[in-house]
Amino acid sequence: VPVDGSHWLSMREVLDMLQKKGHEVVVVAPEVSMHIKPSENFVMKMYPVPYKKEEMEKDFKAFFHGSFEEGIFFERFFHILEGMKRITNFGVSSCEQLLQNKDLIRYLEETKF
């Protein structure tokens, strides 16, 4: 169950090596992500989330742009804090949706994921 971003980019290399060594690799990921894409090297199990890719990208771009703004320290600090809350909410929502997806959880249990 990867986390989008640098965690996924690092994990992707490990998954490719596992597949080359004959392992069946299954990736469980939200339907909306920035970097997690299907591959012929693994089976992809995706689940729906209540946000759109455009919304996610917009909030990530705003956060990164805001991180480099100049200005009063406390204004910047609270602006960055709000951005971190919005970004964290994507991960929390994704986890909630995964745990509430009975069909996917049943599949994971049956296949001893």
Task: Locate the domains of the chain by residue range.
Answer: 6-111
User: What's the confidence (pLDDT) of residue 1?
Assistant: 65
C-alpha to C-alpha distances, 31 to 4, 28, 46, 64, 97, nearest whole angstrom: 11, 10, 5, 23, 11
User: What's the confidence (pLDDT) of residue 64?
Assistant: 87
User: What's the confidence (pLDDT) of residue 67?
Assistant: 83
Grouped pLDDT means (10 residues each) for the chain, 113 residues: 76 92 94 91 94 94 87 91 92 94 96 88
Pinpoint the alpha helices (H) of 40-72: 53-67
Contact 46, 30 (CB under 8 A): yes
CA 32, CA 29: separation in Å to the nearest integer?
A: 8
User: What's the confidence (pLDDT) of residue 3?
Assistant: 73
